[in-house]
Amino acid sequence: MPAEGLIAAEDVLLFTNAAITATSQREFHTDASEQRLSLDFLHAYMLGNYRDLYAAVLALDINDHNAALIIRHLLATAREATPGRRAVEGRLIARRLALLPPQRVYALIAELRGAKVNNRRTRAILRDWLAARPDPVFDAVKYRAGVKTALRHAHLAPPDPELGDFLFRPRGRKHYAAPLLETWRRAHYEQAAVYELPFTVAEGFAARHGIARGAFLDRIAPRMTRGERLRLQESARERGATAVRTDLARMPLTRLASYVLGLPLGDRVARRTELTGALRAAARRTAGAAAGGWGRVTAVLDDSFSTHASGHKRRRPLAVALASHHLLEALAGSYTALWTSGRRDPLLAYPFGATPLGERIADALETGPDRLVIVSDGWDNAPPGMAAEVLRVWRERLDPDGRVAVVHLNPVYDAGGFDVRRLSPAVPTAGIRDAEDLPSLVGLAHFATGRTGLPELRAHLDTRIAAFLAAGGEAR
């Protein structure tokens, strides 16, 4: 296989790992500036050397931060793409924009405006995205500054005169026909109207009216989104609000794991049946038809002190490990979990101690699994390097035919290495952001072994692009 193809494949996989895990925020071992500089370099390198593959990464399970960066860079350099590539890029951008949270898209539009990126393709993509928004009035109320910036940047008129008055001349009307706009107008002088507005808008009015926080949270609870309930539940409890409750049955697996880890240990013990049942139910939903089909699975799960991460990403690596534990339990025919701390009760997990990955991996291989999954940030330090040596000896002497499928999933971007930290060249490593992506990442990880090159990776990306666009009603 040509060396150039292998290098290109390695570069794409390295960037994909970064795009899944990195958010330009502080991690346990590196600060925000290091993260940002490292990630900016990777984006510039990929855009300059592999533009088509750079765009194709939009079809993978990358995080929203990197999706927005890719879109911004592609739109800013539209002249560098051929007409055929621009067409594919446009469909990928449109599909990814439809999946991004609206507040992130409006922030992206503001960045494009600040950078004076306003070519014809950018305006057309923004026009189509705005036209597809399900409720322009709701967007105008909740994201007013963003909507105004988007309309100005795309050279668009408001959908109707009333909405235009609300956005640009809000005090020019004494009455609005649209109920939500009229509610917004009444909320300036009528407290009851505050509770009919979206939560983030109502917060400002509540402060203006001097409404007590606890009373406000109780009454506004029905208007909160699931994410808002999750973020505010702890502060609501501290202020005596009782109506803010999170619907555990509907929460995604990794987000549910983050919620559980945010509870005091005493609360977790008291609610053991409820919390464990919710985690297992979310895992079964995620596993779907693959449940029970993975044979004998053993997991090595990192709950060392470094899984505390940082103030920006508090306990995120541990949440991924806890969610992966429950998903692997659902996927496996028989399952064994080994935590680095040695604890046996995953519900009571918390960041603690060193990272004896080598010992746990040796213990895991002794269980005779068909598949070994390691979820860790890769900082093997008790003793350093033991994990790599265990895996090397296992592959070279005890299992040269690869009877046991071993994969390392790493939720933390290593800015210094421009990649997620790897345990051993003998074992494929992939970045992971959410446990829900675990099955597809295990499939992607085999490209990191060095035995497959760029043609195979391109074929895989083409398949993912076709499925990605088809899911949004696009034909490639």
Confidence band for 11, pLDDT divided at 50, 70 and 90: confident
Q: What is the per-residue pLDDT across 369-407, written as a single tens digit (0 to 9) for each? A: 999 999 998 888 878 889 989 999 988 888 888 889 899
Q: Check residue 474 and give its pLDDT.
A: 45
Of 52 and 402, the structure prediction assigns the larger pLDDT to: 52
Query: pTM for the full model?
Result: 0.85
Average pLDDT over residues 319-332: 96
**Residue whose token pair is 């918390």:** 350
Side chain identity, residue 113 = R
Provide the token pair at 24.
Answer: 């330009």
Q: What is the fold of 254-451?
A: Rossmann fold (3.40.50)
SS3 state at 442: helix
Q: How far apart are CA 455 and CA 452, in angstroms?
A: 8
Does residue 383 have a cis bond before it (omega within 30 degrees)? Answer: yes
Helix (H) or strand (E) holding 407: strand 405-410
Average pLDDT over residues 287-311: 89
Q: How far apart are CA 317 and CA 202, in angstroms?
A: 33
Q: Check residue 443 and give its pLDDT.
A: 74
Confidence band for 272, pLDDT divided at 50, 70 and 90: very high
| CA 276 from centre of chain | 23
Q: How far apart are CA 345 and CA 276, in angstroms?
A: 11
Classify residue 240 as left (phi > 0), alpha (psi -120 to 50) or beta: left
Q: Check residue 151 and give its pLDDT.
A: 95
Q: Does residue 451 surpass a pLDDT of 80?
A: no
Q: Does residue 1 surpass a pLDDT of 50?
A: no
SS3 state at 1: coil
Q: Check residue 3 and give its pLDDT.
A: 55
Q: Residue 410's beta-bridge partner residues?
A: 431
Q: What is the per-residue pLDDT across 410-425, written as a single tens digit (0 to 9) for each? A: 998 888 777 888 888 8
Q: Check residue 102 and give its pLDDT.
A: 95
Q: Check residue 476 and give its pLDDT.
A: 32
Strongest mean pLDDT among 23-37, 300-314, 322-336, 385-399: 322-336
Q: What is the per-residue pLDDT across 24-35, written as a single tens digit (0 to 9) for each? A: 777 776 777 888
Question: Domain boundaries in the chain?
Answer: 187-246, 254-451
Cβ–Cβ under 8 Å, residues 446 and 338: no
Cβ–Cβ under 8 Å, residues 229 and 245: yes
Residue 146: φ, ψ to 5°: -65, -40
Of 70 and 457, the structure prediction assigns the larger pLDDT to: 70
Mean pLDDT score across all residues of the chain: 87
Provide the token pair at 187.
Answer: 């909320």
Cβ–Cβ under 8 Å, residues 75 and 112: yes
Cβ–Cβ under 8 Å, residues 214 and 236: yes
